Amino acid sequence: MIEDKNQQRTPLSELGEFKLIEHLTKHLDIKLKSTVKGIGDDAAVIDIKEKNIVVTTDLLVENVHFDLSYMPIKHLGYKAIVVNLSDVYAMNAQATQVTVSIAVSNRFPLEALEELYAGIETAAKVYNVDVVGGDTTSSTTGLIISVTAIGEVEQNDVVYRNGAKPNDLLVVSGDLGAAYMGLQVLEREKEVFKVNPNNQPDLDAYTYIIERQLKPEARKDIVSLLKDLEVKPTSMIDISDGLSSEIIHLCTQSNVGCDLYENKIPLDPQVISTCEEFKIDSTTIALNGGEDYELLMTVPQEDFPKIKANPNLSIIGFITEESRGMHLVTRGESRIPIIAKGWNALND
């Protein structure tokens, strides 16, 4: 972590756990009616009325999920919230509350954690969620962040991974591969910096893909869009580990196959040009890159007129019978079996 030697550093030991929590959370206001009680008691109290509640948890570990040599710690706080909210939106639900727990080593001063919580607070405001609790403890291995997100959805609106049917359209929001290519640029510049610390990188040509890596956004807007279009997907999942992995999840749990068309995969021009620079195939990156946090869904054929012209959605294939398997149909009309080569946190 690059530090300013002149920056004030307040050791966490000066505060202790309870004063630290109080200090870091004092600006986190309660906004939602469903939050009856937030931080400050033994547990949060949430009033969910007759809706279904959805709950998801993610863990972010330093040097596994993030590298503080190029990840600003405020961005990390923002990203930690966003990646969890994405799972809520993948259930066709609206996120309402989060809890945030951190384990932190003594190399982090109070000021670093203030920055982390500033990012958390910003994400909570942008996505209109309440931070209602969490925990802090010490760590011997750097920084670990655990976020639990809670959301609500009408019982008839919840969407699972296992509802895809043959002839459904395979649809994705946004564009793919940008976060992975942003990571490649950052890793390259990190190595250059190691050799020449005085070298200042010129990243103007990579602004979009770097932002997709350092400050991703969850697709809350797609959940609202689908409701406005009166479209309920038959299955849905967020793209955290790569398009191929997520397609396999949907198809396996739904007992179906699919045809994914290479020429329909949405790619930003910056992804294409950066792939050319790195001499990497852009389709491979879209399939296996991960961390896009777009929504992959299957939509009934009869809803095609509702979504066909929408700039936020791309129809990239269709669902087939399970016996036909899962295939990428290339630009040359070849059929290649889809295999999962996405990012795996359990690999060395």
Q: Give the per-residue pLDDT at 199.
A: 78
Within a domain: residue 267? Answer: yes
Q: Give the per-residue pLDDT at 42.
A: 59
* Mean of pLDDT values over 115-138: 94
Q: Among 153, 187, 209, which residue terminates a domain?
A: 153
* Mean of pLDDT values over 91-119: 94
Stretch among 15-29, 108-122, 316-330 having the lowest mean pLDDT: 15-29
Task: Please tell me whether residues 53 and 174 are part of one structural domain.
Answer: no
CATH code of the domain in which 31 resides: 3.30.1330.10
Task: Please tell me whether residues 260 and 293 are part of one structural domain.
Answer: yes
Task: Please tell me whether residues 54 and 147 are part of one structural domain.
Answer: yes
SS (H, E, C) the chain: CCCCCCCCCCCHHHCCHHHHHHHHHCCCCCCCCCEEECECECCCEECCCCCEEEEEEEEEEECCCECCCCCCHHHHHHHHHHHHHHHHHCCCCEEEEEEEEEEECCCCCHHHHHHHHHHHHHHHHHCCCEEEEEEEEECCCCCEEEEEEEEEECCCCCCCCCCCCCCCEEEEECCCCHHHHHHHHHHHHHHHHHHCCCCCCCCHHHHHHHHHHHCCCCCHHHHHHHHHHCCCCCEEEECCCCHHHHHHHHHHHHCEEEEEEHHHCCCCHHHHHHHHHHCCCHHHHHHHCCCCCCEEEEECHHHHHHHCCCCCEEEEEEEEEHHHCEEEECCCCCEEECCCCCCCCCCC
Task: Please tell me whether residues 112 and 213 are part of one structural domain.
Answer: no
Within a domain: residue 211? Answer: yes
Is the pTM higher than 0.85? The answer reads yes
Stretch among 3-12, 21-30, 78-87 having the lowest mean pLDDT: 3-12
Q: Give the per-residue pLDDT at 11.
A: 78
Task: Please tell me whether residues 181 and 148 are part of one structural domain.
Answer: no
Q: Among 129, 153, 177, which residue terminates a domain?
A: 153
Q: Give the per-residue pLDDT at 43.
A: 57
Give the total number of structural domains in the chain: 2
Within a domain: residue 296? Answer: yes
Task: Please tell me whether residues 292 and 173 are part of one structural domain.
Answer: yes
Mean pLDDT of the chain, nearest integer: 90
Cβ count within 10 A of residue 146: 18
Task: Please tell me whether residues 307 and 206 are part of one structural domain.
Answer: yes
Task: Please tell me whether residues 145 and 45 are part of one structural domain.
Answer: yes
Q: Which residue has the higher pLDDT, 6 or 245?
A: 245
Task: Please tell me whether residues 133 and 94 are part of one structural domain.
Answer: yes
Q: What pLDDT band is residue 340 in, cutting at 50, 70 and 90?
A: confident
CATH code of the domain in which 319 resides: 3.90.650.10
Task: Please tell me whether residues 181 and 318 are part of one structural domain.
Answer: yes
Within a domain: residue 6? Answer: no
Within a domain: residue 343? Answer: no
Q: Give the per-residue pLDDT at 122.
A: 97
Q: Among 153, 180, 200, which residue terminates a domain?
A: 153
| pLDDT over threshold 50, residue 345 | no
Within a domain: residue 265? Answer: yes
Q: Give the per-residue pLDDT at 195.
A: 87
Within a domain: residue 243? Answer: yes
Task: Please tell me whether residues 173 and 315 are part of one structural domain.
Answer: yes
Task: Please tell me whether residues 325 and 196 are part of one structural domain.
Answer: yes
Q: For residue 224, what are the domain limits?
A: 169-337
What digits encode the pLDDT tens for the residues 198-231? 877 789 999 999 999 999 999 999 999 999 999 9
Within a domain: residue 304? Answer: yes
| pLDDT over threshold 70, residue 346 | no
